[in-house]
Structure 1
Amino acid sequence: MELRYLRYFVAVARERHFTRAAKALGISQPPLSQQIKRLEDEVGTPLLRRLTRGVELTEAGEAFYEDACKILAMSDAALEKARGIARGLIGSLSIGITSSDAFHPQIFTLIRQFQQQNPAVTVNQVEANMATLMNRLGEGELDLAFVRLPCESSKAFDLKILDREAMVVALHRSHPLAGSEALALEQLSDTPLIMFPQEVAPGLYDRVYGCCERAGIDMHNTLQASQLSSSLSMVAAGGGFALVPQSMASISPPNVTYHALSSPELFTDIAICWRRFERSRTVKRFLAT
Structure 2
Amino acid sequence: MPAGRRPTRARLELRHLRYFLAVAEELHYGRAAERLKIAQPGLSQQIRALEDIVGAALFDRSRRAVQLTLAGELLLGEARKTLAQAEAALVAARRAGRGEVGRIAIGYTASAAYTGVLTSLVGSFREAHPEVELQITEMEMQRQLDAIAEDRLDIGFIRPPVALPLGVASLALLQEPVLLALPDRHPLAGQDSAIDLADLAGESFITPQHGPSVSFHRHTLEAARAAGFTPRMGPQGRDFVTIVSMVAVGLGVALVPRSLRCVQVPGLAYRPLAGPPVLAELALAHRRTEGSPAARNFVRHARAQL
Same fold (TM over 0.5): yes
Deviation track 1:30-74 (CA, whole Å, cap 9, x = no partner) reads 43333222212101123344665443451x445433433333233
Partner Cα separation in structure 1 for residue 94 and residue 148 of structure 2 = 26
Q: Match for residue 78 of structure 1?
A: 89
TM-score between both structures, scaled by the size of structure 2 = 0.76
Determine which of 103, 107, 110 is the counterpart of 1:92.
103
Matched to 1:247, the amino acid is S
Contact 1:95 1:145 survives alignment (8 Å)? yes
Contact kept, 8 Å, 1:171 with 1:256, in 2: the verdict is yes
TM-score under structure 1 length normalisation? 0.79
The whole-number CA distance in structure 2 between the counterparts of 1:234 and 1:12 is: 79
Q: Using a 3 Å threshold, how does the CA distance of structure 1 residues 148 and 40 change in structure 2: closer, same or farther?
A: same
CA–CA distance in 1 between the matches of 2:22 and 2:142?
59
2:90 maps to amino acid: L
Residue 274 (str. 1) matches residue 302 (str. 2): no
- 2:48 is paired with a residue whose SS is helix
Match of residue 76 from structure 2: 65
Query: Is the 2:178–2:256 contact (alpha carbons within 8 Å) kept by the matching residues of 1?
Result: yes
Q: Which of 172, 197, 201 matches 2:209?
A: 197
Select the residue among 197, 202, 205 that pairs with 1:185: 197
1-side partners of 2:265 and 2:126: how far apart?
31
8 A contact 2:216–2:255 mirrored in 1: no
Change (3 A) 1:20 1:251: farther
Q: 1:9 to 1:235 in 2, by over 3 A?
A: farther
Number of the residue aligned with 1:230: 242
- 2:133 is the alignment partner of 1:122: yes
Larger Rg: 2
- Candidates 158, 181, 197, aligned match of 2:169: 158
Structure 2 gaps of 5+ residues are 1-11, 302-306
Match of 1:208 in 2: 220
Aligned length: 286
SS of structure 2 residue aligned to 1:165: strand
Letter in 2 for 1:149: P
CA contact (8 A) 2:27 2:65 kept: no
1:74 and 1:236, CA in 2 relative to 1: closer, same or farther beyond 3 A? farther
Runs of 4+ in structure 1 over 6 Å off = none
The CA deviation at 1:152 is 2.0
Q: Is the 8 A contact 1:185 1:264 kept in 2?
A: no
Separation (CA, whole Å) in 2 of partners of 1:250 and 1:201: 27
Change (3 A) 1:75 1:225: same
State how far apart, in whole Å, the 2-side matches of 1:202 and 1:156 are. 19
Tell me the distance in 1 between the aligned counterparts of 2:221 and 2:241: 17
Inter-partner Cα distance in structure 2 for 1:119 and 1:107: 17
Offset at 1:25? Answer: 2.9
**Residues 236 and 253 in structure 1, CA contact (< 8 A), matched pair in contact too:** yes
Structure 1 unaligned spans of 5+: none
